[in-house]
Structure 1
Amino acid sequence: MTKPDFISDSAIFYPLWERANGRVQELASASPGELLYFDSIDISTQKFFELVRALLAFEGAEDFVTMVLKPDPFSYFNFHFHKYPGFVHRADQSDDDFFESWQKDPGDSPADCLWANSERYAVLPTPGTWFMYADRKWELGVLMGPPNVIAFARSFYPFFLQPAEGFSIVK
């Protein structure tokens, strides 16, 4: 079993980054029935990891990606560390591997681990229909997916939140 490592190949990272950003754009026009909200800090919890694994199993997928969308992966992270702020998590990797990846030093800069240096992040299956996005300034994250995925997630994860009245996702 290999441990997850930062994505170092632009041919792997760039299509995932484009896919994640495309899904972020879709959030602004998604119907309320396609969205569930969670605390952006939940990514550091066991139950959140279990939700991701349950969603993968629900759709018959095994692997997923976590990546930082802000700060800019290209002008900041890749420029300084010659790798990208993301990980492909394989089915044979454990929950400990997942949590350790978010704490991993990208290279002589522990303060730039993804946990400490991620304002916006995404979680997405490879392949799959659901998508998670969080913005720490909002203190919220959102799961977007088709109705069957949303119903399954709601039944599995007891920590979904209601956003404040008037909250909207703005591009």
Structure 2
Amino acid sequence: MTQGFRPTEPASGFPWPLTFSSFAFGVWVFNTLQANVIFQSRQFVPEEQLLQPSGRHPSPDWKDRWSASFIVAEDMMPPAPVEIVWRSLDGTDHAAVLDLINDIFPGREVRHNVTKAEVNEDWARYDKAVPDILLEVNDRTINVYMRATVLTKLAPISDRPHNFSREDLVSVWTRTF
């Protein structure tokens, strides 16, 4: 009897890499003199903040609690590009148009820090990932992040022994203007 091929990761019946067919979108704007973000015909900067400085980050750990609330459902895919206009702290006007799906997330891959071997196979086979796509405008820089809940086989964090998931914030794209 001959020995067959031995893959480095266990064979499984779930799709890899993980992909998404819908997502939630959220925005934070900091360190600008003025800013506006339009996505899916919706304004993401509160009206009272459109013509005034945005201020600094609320706390050093603000990204730990950052999540999105605007749902882009499967029937809305692919969405329109995000339109951003802002004035950086040095008084320079900027504009950017970001096509989230075609330019930043081609293939709609979920960005996370979980290996295929660590993923709960039943979850990956039957449930759809609905990640948060998070956009930060910070002075002259735009950052795009993804936070996705990925269920795991083993509890990944020792101080949370009953939590069988990871929700890492992953930096996906950045550009300084």
TM-score range relative to shorter protein: under 0.3
TM-score (norm 1): 0.24
Structure with the largest fraction of strand? 2
TM-score (ref. length: structure 2)? 0.23
Q: Which has the higher contact order (CA 8 A, sep 6+)?
A: 1
